[in-house]
Chains A and B, each alone.
Chain A
Amino acid sequence: MQISTTVNGLSHTNEVEARTLLVHYIRDVLRLTGTNVGCDTSSCGACTVLLNGESVKSCTVLAVQADGQEITTIEGMASESGLHPIQKAFQENHGLQCGYCTPGMVMAAASFLHENPSPTEKEVREALEGNLCRCTGYHNIVKSVLAAAGEMGGAR
């Protein structure tokens, strides 16, 4: 089937099998490998991307369901002027250890901060409930998201 998407601001038209998962479309067809496959069962959140601005687990969305939609992956976060404030906050607050969950964490945080620009620590923890860090580095991840909220103008 032919699908057309806008990924990180660029238009793509590709031929995919109906059963192709969005995450495989992103990784294998578009060759954007920043989005990881973790559990493949919509539990871990490593494959989180934005679909029309909202976080989704791309292992549980068909590529054909994203036809005509807008997708943002981790590669779409930084701009010419540098890292996105969320990425920068992860860097400065040591919000990553092995880094495998990081793209998903950043995308989930981006979706959440758009919805709730000045969250409490508890709200950040709840917002990230669908993203697992097997290094268990949650403390600094939460710290990073709170720092990003401050940087982006939503400090509480």
Chain B
Amino acid sequence: MFPASFEYVKANSIRDAISILSDDDDAKVLAGGHSLLPLMKLRLAAPGTLVDIGGIRELSYIEDKGDHIAIGALTRHHDIEHSGLLKESVPFLSYVASLVGDPSVRHRGTIGGSISHGDGASDLPAAVLALDGDLVVEGPSGERIIKASEFFIGFLETALGQGEILKEIRVPKITGGWSYQKFNRRAQDWAIVGVAAVSVGETKVSLVNMGSVPLRAYATEETLKNGGSIEEASEKASEGLQPPSDLNASAEYRKHLAKVLVNRALTETLAQ
């Protein structure tokens, strides 16, 4: 399977990439390519131009900024999985990264690519949601910060505007417990349902593959905040949601899984 033909442009800097993207509304950013290339091979995407930012090495870093950790958008899943700094400060994120795809996929896929792709079935977008992270975006009119909770707006659609590139992900250091429950049938598969829970002050919970975007389980969080038990909070896991039905699971089964997995995630998180 070949992708449809496209123009290929190698960007040497983020400004360079932004200027190409701003002038061409049929252009897409290529990082590791592990979300975009499969879509292009299936002809679900056929951008006219690919702007390859993979060679911009300055966008790959993991840095301690005191109250948070800053991660460059081109940092690969492999680097996040094995980062000593993350294992120490945000072990949750290293753990989630270690469950993405398989080792060869993790050698290519990047956190910025995964988040910009915004797939509701992916692990890392939901992880950054549960961490209530900040996404630093640069575009033609400069830099802005988008809250993770406001970034995912529709099926494979994000708050990134024309010419904008996600350049850094900021996540808090974890002070409390955490858990990631990924339910799948084979090791390298997507989650049929996944649940992330993180305690930084309050406990935040997010859901994988329970809708067209990565979701926060607000009803569950609210129940906990008001002193509800883990059981009561788990009952609210899929409140107001319309999970998809597919070969792996019906919507009803997904709702059941969400309840069970939220229960497990909260039990693990609150026991730490």
Contacts and interface: CB of A to CB of B under 8 A. Distances in A.
Interface of A: 1, 17-21, 24, 40-43, 45, 48, 51, 54-57, 60-62, 64-65, 108, 111-112, 126-127, 129-131
Nearest to A43: B188
Interface of B: 1-8, 10, 30, 33-34, 37-38, 41, 50, 52, 54, 78, 101-105, 107-108, 187-188
A19 B6 contact: yes
Among B5, B37, B50, B102, residue most surrounded by chain A Cβ atoms (within 10 Å)? B102
A57 B3 contact: no
A54 B86 CA distance: 22
Contact of B104 (A20, A64, A130): A130
Contact of A60 (B5, B8, B37, B54): B37
B271 to A, nearest CB: 25
Contact of A55 (B1, B5, B37, B104): B104
B207 to A, nearest CB: 24
A64 B108 contact: no
B5 A42 contact: no
B103 A129 contact: yes
B50 A18 contact: yes
Nearest to A24: B2
Given A57-B105, A61-B108, A129 B188 contact: yes
B2 A19 contact: yes
A119 B10 CA distance: 38
B52 A65 contact: yes
Contacts of B187: 126, 129
Contact of B7 (A18, A43, A111): A18
B202 to A, nearest CB: 33
B5 A17 contact: yes
Contacts of A64: 8, 10, 52
20 contacts: A40-B41, A41-B1, A41-B38, A42-B104, A43-B188, A45-B102, A54-B78, A56-B107, A60-B105, A61-B33, A64-B10, A65-B30, A65-B52, A112-B103, A126-B187, A127-B103, A129-B102, A130-B101, A130-B102, A130-B105
B33 A54 contact: no
B33 A60 contact: yes
A18 B37 contact: no
Contact of A21 (B2, B10, B34): B2
A131 B1 CA distance: 19
A18 B8 contact: yes
The winner among B37, B41, B101, B107 for most chain A CB atoms within 10 A is B107
Contacts of A65: 30, 33, 52, 54
A129 B5 CA distance: 32
Contacts of B30: 62, 65
Contact of B103 (A41, A51, A61, A130): A130
Most buried by B among A41, A42, A57: A42
A5 B1 CA distance: 23
Contacts of B8: 1, 18, 62, 64
Contacts of A19: 2-6
B38 A42 contact: yes
Nearest to B9: A18
Given A41-B38, A129-B187, A108 B103 contact: yes
